[in-house]
Chain A
Amino acid sequence: MAYEATFGDVLRSQGVSRRAFLKFCSTTASLLALPAGTATAMAEALSETRRPSVIWLSFQECTGCTEALTRSHAPTIENLMFNFISLDYHHTLQAAAGEAAEHAREEAERENAGKYLVLVDGSVPMLEYCSTVAGISNKAMLEDACTNAAAVINIGTCSAYGGIPVAKPNPTQAVPVGHIIKDKPIVNVPGCPPMPLAITGVIAQYLTLGKLPELDHLGRPVAFFGENIHDRCYRRPFYDRGQFAETFDDEGARKGWCLYKLGCKAPVTYNACAHLKWNNGVSFPIQSGHGCLGCSEPGFWDMGGVYESVATGKFGDGTRLGAAALAGAALGAGAAVLARRKKAHVHEEDAG
Protein backbone atom coordinates (compact mmCIF):
# COMPACT_ATOMS: atom_id res chain seq x y z
CA MET A 1 0.00 0.00 0.00
CA ALA A 2 1.29 3.42 -0.87
CA TYR A 3 2.54 5.51 2.02
CA GLU A 4 -0.14 7.95 3.08
CA ALA A 5 1.23 11.27 4.19
CA THR A 6 0.49 12.45 7.70
CA PHE A 7 -0.52 16.02 8.46
CA GLY A 8 2.97 16.49 9.88
CA ASP A 9 4.47 15.54 6.52
CA VAL A 10 2.25 18.05 4.78
CA LEU A 11 3.29 20.82 7.16
CA ARG A 12 6.97 19.99 6.82
CA SER A 13 6.77 19.89 3.04
CA GLN A 14 5.22 23.35 3.09
CA GLY A 15 7.96 24.68 5.34
CA VAL A 16 5.72 25.29 8.35
CA SER A 17 7.91 25.37 11.44
CA ARG A 18 7.09 23.28 14.49
CA ARG A 19 6.96 26.47 16.47
CA ALA A 20 4.24 27.92 14.22
CA PHE A 21 2.33 24.67 14.37
CA LEU A 22 2.51 24.54 18.16
CA LYS A 23 1.27 28.09 18.27
CA PHE A 24 -1.69 27.14 16.11
CA CYS A 25 -2.45 24.18 18.38
CA SER A 26 -2.26 26.18 21.56
CA THR A 27 -4.51 28.92 20.10
CA THR A 28 -7.02 26.31 19.03
CA ALA A 29 -6.84 24.48 22.36
CA SER A 30 -7.29 27.64 24.36
CA LEU A 31 -10.17 28.80 22.16
CA LEU A 32 -11.87 25.49 22.67
CA ALA A 33 -11.25 25.89 26.40
CA LEU A 34 -9.38 22.60 26.53
CA PRO A 35 -7.19 21.98 29.57
CA ALA A 36 -3.58 23.17 29.60
CA GLY A 37 -1.24 20.60 28.13
CA THR A 38 -3.74 19.59 25.48
CA ALA A 39 -1.94 21.77 22.95
CA THR A 40 1.16 19.57 22.84
CA ALA A 41 -0.93 16.42 22.77
CA MET A 42 -3.01 17.97 20.02
CA ALA A 43 0.11 18.85 18.04
CA GLU A 44 1.43 15.27 18.39
CA ALA A 45 -1.88 13.72 17.45
CA LEU A 46 -2.49 16.10 14.58
CA SER A 47 0.90 15.64 12.99
CA GLU A 48 0.50 11.86 13.20
CA THR A 49 -2.98 12.02 11.66
CA ARG A 50 -3.36 10.42 8.32
CA ARG A 51 -5.78 11.84 5.92
CA PRO A 52 -9.23 11.46 7.40
CA SER A 53 -11.95 10.92 4.93
CA VAL A 54 -14.00 14.00 4.46
CA ILE A 55 -16.72 14.44 1.92
CA TRP A 56 -17.40 18.06 1.19
CA LEU A 57 -20.73 18.70 -0.46
CA SER A 58 -21.52 22.04 -2.03
CA PHE A 59 -25.17 22.79 -2.63
CA GLN A 60 -26.86 26.17 -3.08
CA GLU A 61 -23.89 28.31 -2.15
CA CYS A 62 -21.58 30.99 -3.53
CA THR A 63 -18.26 29.24 -2.78
CA GLY A 64 -17.44 32.13 -0.46
CA CYS A 65 -16.95 29.72 2.43
CA THR A 66 -14.37 27.73 0.51
CA GLU A 67 -12.79 30.96 -0.65
CA ALA A 68 -12.50 32.27 2.88
CA LEU A 69 -10.58 29.19 3.85
CA THR A 70 -8.35 28.81 0.82
CA ARG A 71 -7.63 32.28 -0.46
CA SER A 72 -5.62 33.78 2.32
CA HIS A 73 -2.28 35.15 1.14
CA ALA A 74 0.21 32.96 2.94
CA PRO A 75 -0.44 29.23 3.14
CA THR A 76 -1.86 29.28 6.65
CA ILE A 77 -2.13 26.19 8.77
CA GLU A 78 -5.88 26.60 8.39
CA ASN A 79 -5.84 26.18 4.67
CA LEU A 80 -3.14 23.52 4.76
CA MET A 81 -5.36 21.52 7.06
CA PHE A 82 -8.25 22.18 4.77
CA ASN A 83 -6.31 20.90 1.76
CA PHE A 84 -5.19 17.93 3.79
CA ILE A 85 -8.65 16.80 4.77
CA SER A 86 -10.64 17.63 1.71
CA LEU A 87 -9.10 15.45 -0.92
CA ASP A 88 -11.74 12.79 -1.31
CA TYR A 89 -14.54 14.81 -2.70
CA HIS A 90 -14.91 18.52 -3.00
CA HIS A 91 -16.87 19.86 -5.93
CA THR A 92 -14.74 22.91 -6.36
CA LEU A 93 -11.30 21.68 -5.47
CA GLN A 94 -11.00 18.07 -6.50
CA ALA A 95 -9.10 17.23 -9.65
CA ALA A 96 -11.50 14.52 -10.76
CA ALA A 97 -14.59 15.46 -12.69
CA GLY A 98 -17.81 13.89 -13.92
CA GLU A 99 -18.41 10.25 -13.17
CA ALA A 100 -14.92 9.70 -11.81
CA ALA A 101 -15.67 12.28 -9.15
CA GLU A 102 -18.92 10.63 -8.15
CA HIS A 103 -17.13 7.26 -7.98
CA ALA A 104 -14.56 8.80 -5.66
CA ARG A 105 -17.33 9.89 -3.35
CA GLU A 106 -19.04 6.53 -3.36
CA GLU A 107 -15.76 4.77 -2.75
CA ALA A 108 -14.86 7.01 0.13
CA GLU A 109 -18.26 6.44 1.65
CA ARG A 110 -17.92 2.69 1.37
CA GLU A 111 -14.34 2.41 2.58
CA ASN A 112 -14.76 4.66 5.57
CA ALA A 113 -18.30 3.79 6.54
CA GLY A 114 -19.11 5.11 10.00
CA LYS A 115 -15.89 7.14 10.21
CA TYR A 116 -16.00 9.91 7.64
CA LEU A 117 -17.18 13.45 8.14
CA VAL A 118 -19.59 15.16 5.83
CA LEU A 119 -18.93 18.87 5.44
CA VAL A 120 -21.67 20.81 3.73
CA ASP A 121 -21.78 24.31 2.40
CA GLY A 122 -24.95 25.61 0.81
CA SER A 123 -28.62 25.02 1.49
CA VAL A 124 -30.72 22.23 0.06
CA PRO A 125 -33.63 23.09 -2.27
CA MET A 126 -36.80 21.14 -1.67
CA LEU A 127 -37.70 21.88 -5.27
CA GLU A 128 -35.13 19.26 -6.08
CA TYR A 129 -34.62 20.16 -9.74
CA CYS A 130 -33.27 23.56 -8.70
CA SER A 131 -29.84 22.20 -7.89
CA THR A 132 -28.30 18.93 -9.00
CA VAL A 133 -24.79 17.52 -9.26
CA ALA A 134 -24.14 14.84 -11.87
CA GLY A 135 -27.90 14.50 -12.23
CA ILE A 136 -28.35 13.76 -8.53
CA SER A 137 -30.46 16.20 -6.54
CA ASN A 138 -28.83 17.88 -3.56
CA LYS A 139 -31.31 16.28 -1.19
CA ALA A 140 -30.68 12.77 -2.51
CA MET A 141 -26.91 13.28 -2.41
CA LEU A 142 -27.01 14.61 1.12
CA GLU A 143 -29.14 11.74 2.38
CA ASP A 144 -26.92 9.24 0.64
CA ALA A 145 -23.66 10.76 1.88
CA CYS A 146 -24.91 10.99 5.45
CA THR A 147 -26.13 7.43 5.72
CA ASN A 148 -22.77 6.13 6.98
CA ALA A 149 -21.24 9.39 8.16
CA ALA A 150 -19.87 9.85 11.68
CA ALA A 151 -21.04 13.46 11.85
CA VAL A 152 -22.04 16.41 9.72
CA ILE A 153 -20.35 19.79 9.92
CA ASN A 154 -22.24 22.64 8.32
CA ILE A 155 -19.79 25.14 6.93
CA GLY A 156 -21.45 28.53 6.62
CA THR A 157 -24.85 29.98 7.34
CA CYS A 158 -26.51 28.52 4.22
CA SER A 159 -26.11 24.89 5.26
CA ALA A 160 -26.53 25.70 8.96
CA TYR A 161 -29.64 27.90 8.79
CA GLY A 162 -30.50 28.39 5.14
CA GLY A 163 -28.67 31.68 4.68
CA ILE A 164 -29.26 33.70 1.55
CA PRO A 165 -31.11 31.02 -0.48
CA VAL A 166 -33.75 30.85 2.27
CA ALA A 167 -34.27 34.64 2.22
CA LYS A 168 -37.78 35.65 1.26
CA PRO A 169 -39.38 34.63 -1.04
CA ASN A 170 -37.19 31.50 -0.97
CA PRO A 171 -37.86 30.57 -4.60
CA THR A 172 -36.22 27.14 -4.38
CA GLN A 173 -37.92 26.25 -1.08
CA ALA A 174 -34.47 25.84 0.39
CA VAL A 175 -33.90 24.33 3.85
CA PRO A 176 -30.83 23.92 6.04
CA VAL A 177 -29.18 20.52 6.35
CA GLY A 178 -30.63 19.95 9.83
CA HIS A 179 -34.13 19.86 8.35
CA ILE A 180 -33.24 16.77 6.36
CA ILE A 181 -30.64 14.95 8.44
CA LYS A 182 -32.03 14.13 11.87
CA ASP A 183 -30.08 11.08 13.00
CA LYS A 184 -26.46 12.31 12.93
CA PRO A 185 -24.59 14.71 15.17
CA ILE A 186 -24.52 18.08 13.43
CA VAL A 187 -22.16 20.95 14.17
CA ASN A 188 -23.04 24.33 12.70
CA VAL A 189 -20.17 26.64 11.87
CA PRO A 190 -22.19 29.55 10.51
CA GLY A 191 -20.97 32.79 9.04
CA CYS A 192 -21.11 34.33 5.62
CA PRO A 193 -18.36 33.23 5.39
CA PRO A 194 -17.49 31.46 8.65
CA MET A 195 -14.23 32.22 10.41
CA PRO A 196 -11.52 29.85 9.11
CA LEU A 197 -10.25 29.22 12.63
CA ALA A 198 -13.70 28.11 13.73
CA ILE A 199 -13.85 25.55 10.92
CA THR A 200 -10.38 24.16 11.54
CA GLY A 201 -10.84 24.34 15.30
CA VAL A 202 -13.83 22.01 15.13
CA ILE A 203 -12.03 19.65 12.76
CA ALA A 204 -8.80 19.69 14.79
CA GLN A 205 -10.70 18.80 17.92
CA TYR A 206 -12.49 15.97 16.18
CA LEU A 207 -9.26 14.61 14.68
CA THR A 208 -7.26 14.72 17.88
CA LEU A 209 -9.76 14.08 20.64
CA GLY A 210 -12.29 12.17 18.62
CA LYS A 211 -15.17 14.29 19.83
CA LEU A 212 -17.24 17.18 18.69
CA PRO A 213 -17.22 20.46 20.60
CA GLU A 214 -19.85 21.70 23.04
CA LEU A 215 -22.68 23.41 21.15
CA ASP A 216 -25.07 26.25 21.92
CA HIS A 217 -28.85 26.16 21.38
CA LEU A 218 -28.33 26.87 17.68
CA GLY A 219 -25.89 24.00 17.25
CA ARG A 220 -22.79 26.24 17.13
CA PRO A 221 -19.54 25.53 18.99
CA VAL A 222 -19.72 27.60 22.18
CA ALA A 223 -15.97 28.19 21.97
CA PHE A 224 -16.38 30.34 18.85
CA PHE A 225 -19.98 31.48 19.02
CA GLY A 226 -20.45 31.87 22.75
CA GLU A 227 -19.75 35.58 22.79
CA ASN A 228 -21.77 38.51 21.67
CA ILE A 229 -19.79 40.69 19.26
CA HIS A 230 -21.22 43.88 20.77
CA ASP A 231 -19.90 42.79 24.19
CA ARG A 232 -16.44 42.40 22.68
CA CYS A 233 -16.47 45.39 20.38
CA TYR A 234 -13.75 47.96 20.88
CA ARG A 235 -16.27 50.68 19.90
CA ARG A 236 -18.44 49.82 22.89
CA PRO A 237 -17.30 52.81 24.99
CA PHE A 238 -18.71 55.11 22.28
CA TYR A 239 -21.99 53.21 22.40
CA ASP A 240 -22.17 53.67 26.16
CA ARG A 241 -21.36 57.37 25.87
CA GLY A 242 -23.96 57.82 23.15
CA GLN A 243 -21.47 58.76 20.43
CA PHE A 244 -22.74 57.39 17.14
CA ALA A 245 -21.67 57.74 13.53
CA GLU A 246 -24.72 59.04 11.65
CA THR A 247 -23.37 58.48 8.14
CA PHE A 248 -20.36 56.65 6.76
CA ASP A 249 -18.37 59.80 6.16
CA ASP A 250 -19.25 62.12 9.01
CA GLU A 251 -16.99 63.16 11.82
CA GLY A 252 -18.25 60.34 14.05
CA ALA A 253 -17.37 57.77 11.39
CA ARG A 254 -13.89 59.23 11.05
CA LYS A 255 -13.41 59.17 14.79
CA GLY A 256 -14.42 55.54 14.95
CA TRP A 257 -17.65 55.99 16.92
CA CYS A 258 -20.26 53.29 17.36
CA LEU A 259 -22.08 52.06 14.24
CA TYR A 260 -25.38 51.19 15.96
CA LYS A 261 -27.35 53.83 14.09
CA LEU A 262 -25.87 52.66 10.81
CA GLY A 263 -27.42 49.25 11.28
CA CYS A 264 -24.79 47.32 13.24
CA LYS A 265 -26.44 43.97 14.13
CA ALA A 266 -23.71 42.89 16.55
CA PRO A 267 -25.88 43.33 19.65
CA VAL A 268 -27.88 40.30 18.48
CA THR A 269 -24.99 38.42 16.87
CA TYR A 270 -22.72 35.75 18.31
CA ASN A 271 -19.41 35.15 16.59
CA ALA A 272 -15.69 35.44 17.22
CA CYS A 273 -15.04 38.33 14.81
CA ALA A 274 -14.33 40.96 17.44
CA HIS A 275 -11.67 38.99 19.29
CA LEU A 276 -10.18 36.60 16.70
CA LYS A 277 -10.60 38.98 13.77
CA TRP A 278 -10.16 38.15 10.12
CA ASN A 279 -7.14 37.76 7.81
CA ASN A 280 -4.86 36.39 10.48
CA GLY A 281 -6.04 38.84 13.08
CA VAL A 282 -5.67 41.96 10.95
CA SER A 283 -9.15 43.45 11.29
CA PHE A 284 -12.86 42.73 11.21
CA PRO A 285 -15.85 44.42 9.59
CA ILE A 286 -16.62 46.82 12.44
CA GLN A 287 -12.98 47.82 12.68
CA SER A 288 -13.00 48.68 9.00
CA GLY A 289 -15.99 50.94 9.51
CA HIS A 290 -19.04 48.88 8.60
CA GLY A 291 -21.62 47.51 11.01
CA CYS A 292 -22.03 43.78 11.53
CA LEU A 293 -24.64 42.12 9.28
CA GLY A 294 -25.39 39.38 11.79
CA CYS A 295 -24.19 36.78 9.28
CA SER A 296 -23.81 33.97 11.83
CA GLU A 297 -27.45 34.14 12.94
CA PRO A 298 -30.45 32.28 11.51
CA GLY A 299 -32.50 34.38 9.11
CA PHE A 300 -29.89 37.15 8.96
CA TRP A 301 -30.85 38.13 5.45
CA ASP A 302 -34.45 38.84 6.47
CA MET A 303 -33.54 40.64 9.71
CA GLY A 304 -34.40 43.99 8.12
CA GLY A 305 -32.31 46.37 6.05
CA VAL A 306 -28.56 46.25 6.37
CA TYR A 307 -28.56 49.89 7.48
CA GLU A 308 -31.63 49.66 9.73
CA SER A 309 -30.69 49.66 13.39
CA VAL A 310 -31.48 46.76 15.69
CA ALA A 311 -34.20 48.82 17.38
CA THR A 312 -36.26 49.27 14.23
CA GLY A 313 -39.76 47.79 14.20
CA LYS A 314 -40.15 45.18 11.50
CA PHE A 315 -43.66 45.75 10.21
CA GLY A 316 -43.44 47.98 7.18
CA ASP A 317 -44.98 51.43 7.39
CA GLY A 318 -47.62 53.04 9.59
CA THR A 319 -50.57 52.67 7.15
CA ARG A 320 -52.38 50.20 9.37
CA LEU A 321 -51.90 52.48 12.35
CA GLY A 322 -53.63 55.31 10.47
CA ALA A 323 -56.45 52.96 9.53
CA ALA A 324 -56.67 51.84 13.17
CA ALA A 325 -56.98 55.47 14.29
CA LEU A 326 -59.87 56.02 11.87
CA ALA A 327 -61.59 52.77 12.80
CA GLY A 328 -61.20 53.47 16.52
CA ALA A 329 -62.56 56.98 16.13
CA ALA A 330 -65.56 55.78 14.08
CA LEU A 331 -66.31 53.03 16.57
CA GLY A 332 -66.00 55.31 19.57
CA ALA A 333 -68.14 58.07 18.05
CA GLY A 334 -70.68 55.49 16.87
CA ALA A 335 -70.95 53.95 20.32
CA ALA A 336 -71.35 57.36 21.93
CA VAL A 337 -74.05 58.44 19.48
CA LEU A 338 -75.94 55.22 20.15
CA ALA A 339 -75.63 55.76 23.89
CA ARG A 340 -76.97 59.32 23.55
CA ARG A 341 -79.94 58.14 21.52
CA LYS A 342 -80.70 55.48 24.03
CA LYS A 343 -80.50 58.01 26.84
CA ALA A 344 -82.74 60.45 24.97
CA HIS A 345 -85.19 57.63 24.41
CA VAL A 346 -85.22 56.77 28.11
CA HIS A 347 -85.78 60.46 28.95
CA GLU A 348 -88.72 60.60 26.57
CA GLU A 349 -90.24 57.51 28.10
CA ASP A 350 -89.75 58.92 31.57
CA ALA A 351 -91.37 62.16 30.49
CA GLY A 352 -94.22 60.45 28.67
Chain B
Amino acid sequence: MSLLEFARGPAIHASLIILVAGIFLRLLGVLVLTRGADLSRPRDAFGNFKGYRTVFSRAWPSSEFTTTTIYQTVMAYVFHISTLLVVVAIVPHIEFITSLTGLSWPGLPNFIGVALGTIALASLIALILRRLSNPAVYNSTLGDYVTWIIVALPLLTGLMAFAHVGLRYETMLALHILSAALLFAYMPFSKLMHAFWFIFSRAQSGLAYAHKGVRI
Protein backbone atom coordinates (compact mmCIF):
# COMPACT_ATOMS: atom_id res chain seq x y z
CA MET B 1 0.00 0.00 0.00
CA SER B 2 1.47 3.34 -1.00
CA LEU B 3 1.48 6.35 1.31
CA LEU B 4 -1.24 8.00 -0.78
CA GLU B 5 -3.44 4.91 -0.68
CA PHE B 6 -3.01 4.75 3.09
CA ALA B 7 -3.75 8.46 3.47
CA ARG B 8 -6.91 8.68 1.41
CA GLY B 9 -8.11 5.25 2.49
CA PRO B 10 -7.88 4.04 6.09
CA ALA B 11 -6.17 7.12 7.55
CA ILE B 12 -8.70 9.73 6.48
CA HIS B 13 -11.55 7.31 7.14
CA ALA B 14 -10.42 6.62 10.71
CA SER B 15 -9.87 10.31 11.38
CA LEU B 16 -13.35 11.21 10.12
CA ILE B 17 -14.84 8.53 12.37
CA ILE B 18 -12.95 9.99 15.34
CA LEU B 19 -13.99 13.50 14.32
CA VAL B 20 -17.69 12.71 14.08
CA ALA B 21 -17.82 10.51 17.16
CA GLY B 22 -15.66 12.99 19.08
CA ILE B 23 -17.82 16.00 18.23
CA PHE B 24 -21.01 14.27 19.32
CA LEU B 25 -19.34 12.89 22.41
CA ARG B 26 -18.12 16.28 23.49
CA LEU B 27 -21.29 18.15 22.54
CA LEU B 28 -23.64 15.80 24.34
CA GLY B 29 -21.21 15.15 27.15
CA VAL B 30 -21.33 18.82 28.03
CA LEU B 31 -24.82 19.86 26.95
CA VAL B 32 -26.53 17.09 28.91
CA LEU B 33 -24.71 18.40 31.99
CA THR B 34 -26.27 21.87 31.74
CA ARG B 35 -28.08 23.13 34.80
CA GLY B 36 -31.81 23.63 34.79
CA ALA B 37 -33.30 27.07 34.21
CA ASP B 38 -32.69 29.83 36.72
CA LEU B 39 -35.99 30.03 38.59
CA SER B 40 -35.60 33.58 39.82
CA ARG B 41 -37.56 36.25 37.98
CA PRO B 42 -35.42 37.75 35.19
CA ARG B 43 -34.60 41.43 35.54
CA ASP B 44 -34.84 41.79 31.82
CA ALA B 45 -37.90 40.33 30.14
CA PHE B 46 -36.02 40.08 26.87
CA GLY B 47 -33.21 38.09 28.48
CA ASN B 48 -33.46 35.12 26.14
CA PHE B 49 -33.53 37.23 23.06
CA LYS B 50 -30.51 39.23 24.23
CA GLY B 51 -28.69 36.03 25.03
CA TYR B 52 -29.02 34.84 21.48
CA ARG B 53 -28.10 38.26 20.21
CA THR B 54 -24.81 38.00 22.09
CA VAL B 55 -23.79 35.13 19.82
CA PHE B 56 -23.44 37.73 17.09
CA SER B 57 -22.71 40.89 19.05
CA ARG B 58 -19.63 39.30 20.62
CA ALA B 59 -18.24 38.70 17.15
CA TRP B 60 -16.46 42.02 17.47
CA PRO B 61 -14.86 43.43 20.64
CA SER B 62 -16.60 46.29 22.46
CA SER B 63 -15.51 49.70 21.33
CA GLU B 64 -13.47 50.19 24.53
CA PHE B 65 -11.17 47.37 23.47
CA THR B 66 -11.02 48.02 19.76
CA THR B 67 -7.65 49.72 19.73
CA THR B 68 -5.86 47.22 21.93
CA THR B 69 -7.28 44.16 20.20
CA ILE B 70 -7.50 45.35 16.61
CA TYR B 71 -4.42 43.38 15.49
CA GLN B 72 -5.51 39.95 16.63
CA THR B 73 -9.16 40.57 15.80
CA VAL B 74 -8.40 41.46 12.20
CA MET B 75 -5.82 38.70 11.83
CA ALA B 76 -8.17 36.14 13.32
CA TYR B 77 -10.92 37.20 10.93
CA VAL B 78 -8.61 37.04 7.94
CA PHE B 79 -7.42 33.62 9.07
CA HIS B 80 -10.86 32.16 9.72
CA ILE B 81 -12.47 33.43 6.53
CA SER B 82 -9.62 32.49 4.21
CA THR B 83 -9.29 29.06 5.81
CA LEU B 84 -13.01 28.42 5.55
CA LEU B 85 -13.00 29.41 1.89
CA VAL B 86 -10.02 27.20 1.16
CA VAL B 87 -11.70 24.27 2.90
CA VAL B 88 -15.01 24.50 1.08
CA ALA B 89 -14.36 26.33 -2.17
CA ILE B 90 -11.43 24.76 -3.97
CA VAL B 91 -12.19 22.05 -6.46
CA PRO B 92 -10.22 19.11 -4.98
CA HIS B 93 -11.92 19.68 -1.59
CA ILE B 94 -15.33 19.91 -3.20
CA GLU B 95 -14.59 16.68 -5.04
CA PHE B 96 -13.76 15.03 -1.71
CA ILE B 97 -16.92 16.34 -0.03
CA THR B 98 -18.99 15.31 -3.04
CA SER B 99 -17.63 11.79 -2.85
CA LEU B 100 -18.71 11.69 0.79
CA THR B 101 -22.06 13.47 0.68
CA GLY B 102 -23.17 13.71 -2.92
CA LEU B 103 -23.41 17.50 -2.61
CA SER B 104 -21.52 19.73 -4.99
CA TRP B 105 -21.13 23.39 -5.82
CA PRO B 106 -18.93 25.49 -8.11
CA GLY B 107 -15.33 25.98 -6.97
CA LEU B 108 -12.89 28.86 -7.07
CA PRO B 109 -10.11 29.02 -9.67
CA ASN B 110 -6.90 27.43 -8.42
CA PHE B 111 -4.87 30.63 -8.39
CA ILE B 112 -7.38 32.18 -5.97
CA GLY B 113 -7.14 29.02 -3.88
CA VAL B 114 -3.38 29.43 -3.69
CA ALA B 115 -3.76 33.10 -2.75
CA LEU B 116 -6.31 32.30 -0.01
CA GLY B 117 -4.16 29.49 1.38
CA THR B 118 -1.17 31.81 1.48
CA ILE B 119 -3.20 34.50 3.24
CA ALA B 120 -4.47 31.94 5.75
CA LEU B 121 -0.96 30.73 6.51
CA ALA B 122 0.44 34.26 6.74
CA SER B 123 -2.28 35.35 9.17
CA LEU B 124 -1.72 32.24 11.25
CA ILE B 125 1.97 33.14 11.46
CA ALA B 126 1.05 36.71 12.37
CA LEU B 127 -1.08 35.36 15.21
CA ILE B 128 1.59 33.06 16.61
CA LEU B 129 4.10 35.91 16.47
CA ARG B 130 1.85 38.00 18.69
CA ARG B 131 1.38 35.09 21.06
CA LEU B 132 5.14 34.59 21.26
CA SER B 133 5.87 38.25 21.84
CA ASN B 134 3.22 38.68 24.57
CA PRO B 135 3.70 35.69 26.85
CA ALA B 136 2.10 37.49 29.78
CA VAL B 137 -1.11 38.20 27.88
CA TYR B 138 -1.58 34.73 26.50
CA ASN B 139 -0.17 32.53 29.23
CA SER B 140 0.26 29.81 26.58
CA THR B 141 0.46 26.12 27.29
CA LEU B 142 2.21 23.46 25.26
CA GLY B 143 -1.21 22.49 23.88
CA ASP B 144 -1.56 25.92 22.27
CA TYR B 145 1.60 25.44 20.27
CA VAL B 146 0.73 21.86 19.35
CA THR B 147 -2.65 23.07 18.14
CA TRP B 148 -1.03 25.81 16.10
CA ILE B 149 1.25 23.29 14.38
CA ILE B 150 -1.60 20.87 13.72
CA VAL B 151 -3.61 23.68 12.11
CA ALA B 152 -0.67 25.05 10.13
CA LEU B 153 0.43 21.71 8.66
CA PRO B 154 -2.56 21.07 6.38
CA LEU B 155 -2.29 24.64 5.08
CA LEU B 156 1.41 24.30 4.37
CA THR B 157 1.26 20.83 2.80
CA GLY B 158 -1.91 21.74 0.91
CA LEU B 159 -0.32 24.80 -0.62
CA MET B 160 2.74 22.84 -1.59
CA ALA B 161 0.72 20.03 -3.13
CA PHE B 162 -1.63 22.44 -4.88
CA ALA B 163 1.23 24.41 -6.39
CA HIS B 164 3.18 21.23 -7.25
CA VAL B 165 6.28 22.25 -5.33
CA GLY B 166 8.42 20.33 -2.87
CA LEU B 167 8.24 16.54 -2.95
CA ARG B 168 6.54 14.60 -5.71
CA TYR B 169 2.88 15.49 -6.01
CA GLU B 170 1.54 12.14 -4.81
CA THR B 171 3.75 12.35 -1.70
CA MET B 172 2.74 15.94 -0.97
CA LEU B 173 -0.90 15.02 -1.48
CA ALA B 174 -0.53 12.07 0.89
CA LEU B 175 1.17 14.28 3.50
CA HIS B 176 -1.57 16.85 3.08
CA ILE B 177 -4.31 14.26 3.61
CA LEU B 178 -2.43 12.80 6.59
CA SER B 179 -2.04 16.24 8.16
CA ALA B 180 -5.77 16.88 7.65
CA ALA B 181 -6.45 13.48 9.23
CA LEU B 182 -4.38 14.50 12.24
CA LEU B 183 -6.34 17.73 12.50
CA PHE B 184 -9.68 15.90 12.28
CA ALA B 185 -8.75 13.41 14.96
CA TYR B 186 -7.35 16.10 17.25
CA MET B 187 -10.10 18.65 16.79
CA PRO B 188 -12.84 17.35 19.14
CA PHE B 189 -10.44 16.93 22.05
CA SER B 190 -8.75 20.29 21.84
CA LYS B 191 -9.41 24.01 21.90
CA LEU B 192 -10.42 23.67 18.28
CA MET B 193 -13.84 22.60 19.59
CA HIS B 194 -14.42 26.34 19.86
CA ALA B 195 -15.79 25.94 16.34
CA PHE B 196 -18.91 24.64 18.16
CA TRP B 197 -18.51 25.95 21.69
CA PHE B 198 -18.41 29.60 20.68
CA ILE B 199 -22.14 29.58 20.01
CA PHE B 200 -23.04 27.99 23.35
CA SER B 201 -20.61 29.93 25.46
CA ARG B 202 -21.61 33.28 24.01
CA ALA B 203 -25.29 32.49 24.32
CA GLN B 204 -24.79 31.25 27.87
CA SER B 205 -23.00 34.43 28.96
CA GLY B 206 -25.61 36.56 27.19
CA LEU B 207 -28.45 34.75 28.92
CA ALA B 208 -26.85 34.87 32.34
CA TYR B 209 -26.07 38.56 32.12
CA ALA B 210 -29.44 39.49 30.67
CA HIS B 211 -31.19 37.52 33.39
CA LYS B 212 -29.41 39.63 35.96
CA GLY B 213 -30.13 42.82 34.10
CA VAL B 214 -26.56 43.53 33.06
CA ARG B 215 -26.37 45.76 30.02
CA ILE B 216 -24.91 43.75 27.16
A residues touching B (Cβ–Cβ < 8 Å)? 228, 230-231, 239-242, 244, 260-261, 267-268, 298-299, 303, 308-315, 318, 320-321, 324-329, 331-333, 335-337, 339-340
Contact (A332, B17) CB under 8 Å given A313-B100, A325-B24: no
Output the least CB separation between A202 and chain B (Å): 22
Binds A, one of B25-33, B118-126, B132-140, B194-202: B25-33
Checking A230, A328, A336 against B30 with a beta-carbon cut-off of 8 angstroms, the contacting residue is: A336
The answer to whether B25 touches A261 (Cβ under 8 A) is no
Tell me which residues across on chain A come within 8 A of B95, comparing CB atoms.
260-261, 309-312
Q: Is the CB of B100 within 8 A of A241?
A: no
- B20, B99, B110: the one within 8 Å of A308 (CB): B99
State the main secondary structure of chain A at its contact with B. Answer: helix
Given contacts A324-B24, A336-B29, could you give 16 more A-B pairs where the C-beta distance is less than 8 Å? A231-B164, A239-B110, A242-B109, A261-B95, A298-B2, A309-B99, A310-B95, A313-B9, A313-B96, A321-B17, A324-B16, A325-B24, A328-B20, A329-B28, A335-B25, A340-B32
Tell me if B169 and A228 are in contact (CB < 8 A): yes
B23 at the interface (CB under 8 A from A): yes
Residues in chain B near residue A230, CB distance under 8 A: 164, 169
Residues of B within 8 A of A (CB): 2, 4-5, 8-10, 12-13, 16-18, 20-33, 91-93, 95-96, 99-101, 107-112, 164, 168-170, 173
What distance in Å separates the Cβ of B101 from its nearest Cβ neighbour in chain A? 7
Residues in A with CB closer than 8 Å to B169 are 228, 230, 267-268
Give Cα A313–Cα B17 distance, bound, in whole angstroms.
13
CA distance A312 to B8 in the complex (A): 8
Shortest 4 CB-CB contacts between residues of A and residues of B = A328-B21, A332-B28, A336-B32, A242-B109
A242 touches B108 (CB 8 A): yes
B17–A320 touching, CB < 8 Å: yes
Q: Report the bound CA distance from A310 to B27 in whole Å.
A: 34
Nearest chain A CB to B6 CB, angstrom units: 10
A240 and B110 within 8 A (CB) = yes
Identify the closest chain A residue to B27 (Cβ).
A332
A244–B21 CA distance with the chains assembled, in angstroms: 35
Point out the residue from B13, B25, B93 that lies within 8 Å of A311, measured CB to CB: B93
* Given A240-B109, A244-B91, A318-B100, A337 and B21 contact (CB-CB distance below 8 Å): no
What are 15 A-to-B residue pairs whose CB atoms are below 8 Å? A242-B108, A242-B110, A260-B91, A268-B170, A311-B92, A312-B8, A312-B99, A313-B9, A315-B8, A315-B10, A320-B13, A321-B20, A328-B28, A333-B32, A337-B32
Write out the residue numbers on chain B whose beta carbons fall within 8 Å of the beta carbon of A326. Answer: 24
Do B4 and A332 have beta carbons less than 8 Å apart? no
Asked if A324 and B21 sit within 8 Å, CB to CB, the answer is: yes
A242 contacts which of B8, B13, B29, B91 (Cβ < 8 Å)? B91
> Which one of A242, A299, A318, A336 contacts B2 once the chains associate, using CB atoms below 8 Å?
A299
Q: Which residue of B lies closest to A243 (CB)?
A: B109
- For residue A316, which residue of chain B has the nearest CB? B13
In the assembly, what is the distance between CA of A164 and CA of B91, in Å? 30
Q: How far is the CB of B159 from chain A (nearest CB, A)?
A: 14
**Chain B residues near A318 (CB-CB < 8 A):** 100-101
How far does the alpha carbon of A230 sit from the alpha carbon of B99 in the complex, in Å?
Answer: 22
A336 touches B24 (CB 8 A): no
Residues of B within 8 A of A242 (CB): 91, 107-110, 112
> A315: nearest residue on chain B (CB-CB)?
B13
Q: A324-B21, A325-B20, A339-B33 are in contact. Are A313 and B8 (CB under 8 A)?
A: yes
